[in-house]
Amino acid sequence: MVSSSRARVAVRDDPGRTRSAAAVSAVLIVGAGLALRALAAGEVAKYGGDALYTLLLFALVFAAAPRTAPAKAAALALAVSWGVEFLQLSDVPAHLARESTAARLVLGSTFNAPDLFWYAVGAATGWLAVRRA
């Protein structure tokens, strides 16, 4: 019988399995985000979407680099999320958002300080999920 810690190591050592799990997770996260937008409103939809945005980035890190340490993937996803948020202090995202729906969805348009906390929630959720897997 394989212990759960050995099973975790086996999954992390198999880049193909990790990449596949990350890709499936990314699709599920996008689905959750779309469902959240359809079913919720106000702060629940906004801040839940922020957390899911970073969680999606976390999954995409593993899809691109499956041997990445969970803490490193969480830090990278959080750094990108925060970078995009701070970029919103300039006019660049707002201008791009007017030109492209995709840019609006990825970059947003206006800085909102509470988003920074919810991005951290998404990164921590990803890190905890992978650590427990």
Q: What is the pLDDT of residues 9-22, one digit of tens each?
A: 445 578 999 999 99
Residue 94's pLDDT is what?
87
Cβ atoms of 22 and 12 within 8 Å: the answer is: no
Is a pLDDT exceeding 70 seen at residue 8? Answer: no
Residue 12's pLDDT is what?
59
The DSSP annotation for 98-128 comes to HH-HHHHHHH-SS--THHHHHHHHHHHHHHH
Is a pLDDT exceeding 50 seen at residue 82? Answer: yes
Separation CA 61–CA 66 (nearest Å): 7
Cβ atoms of 26 and 59 within 8 Å: the answer is: yes
Q: Which of 88, 85, 81, 86 is nearest to 60 (CA)?
A: 81
Residue 108's pLDDT is what?
87
Percentage of the chain lying above the pLDDT 70 cut = 91
